[in-house]
Structure 1
Amino acid sequence: MTSLVIHRVTTLDLAVRPIVWAFAEERRADITAHFAEKQRERPRLWNGRVLLGRDAVFTDGHLAATYFETDFASFLAWRDWGFPDTAVFNGFGMGALRTSDGAFIMGEMAQHTANEGRIYFPSGTPDLDDIRDGVLDIRGSVVRELGEETGLTATEYWAEPDWHCVVTKEAIAMIQILNLDMPGDAARARIEANLAREAEPELSAIHLVRGVSDLTPSMPRFVTAFVEQQFASR
């Protein structure tokens, strides 16, 4: 995976296997030191278990890949050190909330998170709670992350059937459009009210994207590429 490509697929086959990650084993001391430094900067960082992918294959509207379990410290070091193991990718689901007046909703990550200041759709690196019968449930991951970040439940939006898989050198963002039956300003106010009730919300601000002019450098390229494609097709 090198340059950015967007695949539109209808089915995902993401098996979870017991794989030993050589990078994490060989660089353990360096990884531990790196994470300790990051925790000093952001004490709320937690070294939980996450899932990373490898061996992605796209064929005829279908994505197949293998996932394996590792610790967040190893993932963070791999990310911060420029993705030294190129056989591995961060494959995650994103819920592209679209309002009744055509705006996309994005959240700005709060100061205490590992992605402070970044703006994107509700998402998160998959973890063990997203495994169902040995398979990674990306749809379930999206519903969970969206609920945690915005307070919205699956009864309040309807999901389009396709996944827009934005592939970059180090990631596959599996984006599903979720349609809200409310206009952008009302949706933003609803989410902001939910954030105000939380002691330490993951998001510090809510952004409405009504066109490409609303895109900013704080949005990852896989997000802006998806949005550009969506507005170009209207």
Structure 2
Amino acid sequence: MSLPAIRHIDATDFDVGAPQWPLAVERRADIDRNFAERKRAQPKLWNGRVLLFRDVACHGGTLAGRAFETDFASFLWWRGTGFPDDAVRNVFGMAAVRGRDGGFLLGVMADHTAAAGQVYFPAGTPDPGDVRGGRVDLAGSVVRELREETGLDAVAFRAEPGWTAVFAGPRIAVIKVFAADQTCAALLARVRAGIGADPEAELADVIAVYRRADIPAAAPVFMRAYLTASLSD
């Protein structure tokens, strides 16, 4: 299977105000039934509000489009049924923390989360709290997710210019690299201490990858593509 396309971008520009999602209205009974089944298996799932995207395209060095608000239950159903409505995109920011020894930190998602067992950079689907002045603040979303999932504060790192966008069908991962002065081992110890002290932690563990051979099987395709391009043999 070929890996997704990867492109460097300078900025993102997503306004909020695309029409509401007709599919979420048409398939409401299916969506609610699916979410009830998921809740029985994972009681901590929360049907909050999230942002999905339309009309996504690159204009020069800017990835742009329009965001609209929906509920997490609709997002889960859409994702779990093969992404019907091929005009919609799941655009999400990711924080790629890289230690001074060259490794990247990846989180292992906890069993109570919707992505249980998957391994990837701290990330999250943007929500209405990430909107600033009518536009999606993807940089702010990335900083928030990094702090919430790992306890690490982005101001302690050096943010590299621009982003890397990974296009994996309806999913578009927009990755910001944060360079750390500490080794991965030191960062792992800090994050694991925080995870161990928080019974509601989103992560079950955190790992470091240094080479392509380290890429875990549980990493989604967009993560495998990015790490394959960023790491050596």
Contact 1:3 1:169 in 2 (8 A): no
* TM-superposed deviation, 1:25: 0.8
Deviations 1:58-105 (A, max 9, x none): 122111111100000000000000101111011000001100000000
Pairwise CA distance, 1:18: 4.6
Equivalent residue, structure 1, for 2:165: 165
- If the length of structure 2 is used for normalisation, what is the TM-score? 0.97
Q: TM-score, normalised by structure 1?
A: 0.96
- Matched position secondary structure for 1:85: coil
Equivalent residue, structure 1, for 2:191? 191
Equivalent residue, structure 1, for 2:104: 104
The answer to whether structure 1 residue 231 and structure 2 residue 224 are counterparts is: no
Amino acid in the other structure paired with 2:45: L
**What residue is the counterpart of 1:221 in the other structure?**
221
Q: Distance in 1 between matches of 2:37 and 2:58?
A: 38
Q: Match of 2:22?
A: 22
Cα distance, 1:117 vs structure 2: 0.3
Q: Secondary structure at the match of 2:227?
A: helix
* 3-state secondary structure, aligned to 2:231: helix
Report deviation, 1:197: 1.5
Tell me how far apart the structure 2 counterparts of residues 41 and 87 of structure 1 sit (CA, whole Å): 30
Structure 1 residue 199, shift from structure 2 partner: 2.0
Give the Å deviation of 1:172. 0.6
Amino acid at match of 2:169: K
Aligned: 1:35 with 2:35: yes
SS in 1 for 2:124: coil
| Alpha-carbon separation, structure 1, partners of 2:127 and 2:189 | 30
Aligned residue in 2 for 1:175: 175
3-state SS in 2 of match to 1:218: coil
Query: What is the CA–CA distance in structure 1 between the aligned matches of 2:155 and 2:12, rounded to whole Å?
Result: 23
1:62 maps to 62
RMSD: 1.4
Deviations 1:187-230, CA, capped at 9 Å, x for gaps: 10011011111121100011100010001220011111111111
Match of 1:139 in 2: 139
Q: Which runs of 4+ in 1 moved over 2 A?
A: none
